[in-house]
Amino acid sequence: MRHVLERHQVLPIPLQQAWDFFSDPNNLSRITPPEMGFVIREPRPKPPTHAGQRITYTVRPVLGIPLTWVTLITVAEAPHRFVDTQEKGPYAYWHHTHTFEESEGGTVMRDLVEYELPLGVLGELAHRIFVKNQLDGIFKHRERVLQELFPS
């Protein structure tokens, strides 16, 4: 079953500054909860994000067990949008659209994540028990970190 997660946050920074921050894959570790054990693997990706870019990293989402996740940037339209999809990782499907739009007071950043878990009914059970809450927690953590990095 496909699930959707949507978030938005107003950042009190200009559009180009938001793009520069988010289009640098090396900033992912700054906004990911430490307990996820997020580490970008070599070679480290060079900013800015661009279509065709692959990013390989390790995450530890469950019981500290390391998983390799490979994402592919399928769309990059500076400074307004980029899309990453999972090539290898814990999901059966992952499609994450990041958009940035100038607004009064800064930049509106939006995330639209469409995802599906593997293992059919077992995956859905895992989603209800912990995956949905874990994803919510990751995005709440990111929101708090961004408020600290870019205070009003």
Angstrom CA distances, 146 to 22, 85, 141, 149, stand at 11, 23, 9, 5
The pTM of this model reads 0.94
State pLDDT tens for residues 13-45: 999 999 999 999 999 999 999 999 999 998 888
pLDDT averaged over every residue in the chain: 96
Cis peptide upstream of residue 79 (ω within 30 degrees of 0): yes
Give Cβ neighbours of residue 61 (< 8 Å, ≥ 6 apart).
Answer: 36, 67, 90, 134
Predicted confidence band of residue 113 (pLDDT cuts 50, 70, 90)? very high
Superfamily of domain 2-149: START domain (3.30.530.20)
SS3 78: coil
- The arithmetic mean of pLDDT across residues 100-120, rounded, is 97
**Could you state, in order of their start, the residue ranges of all structural domains in the chain?**
2-149
- Determine the pLDDT at residue 46: 87
**pLDDT tens profile 60-91:** 988 889 999 999 999 999 999 999 999 999 99
Q: Which of 78, 29, 18 is nearest to 49 (CA)?
A: 78
- pLDDT at residue 8 tops 90: yes
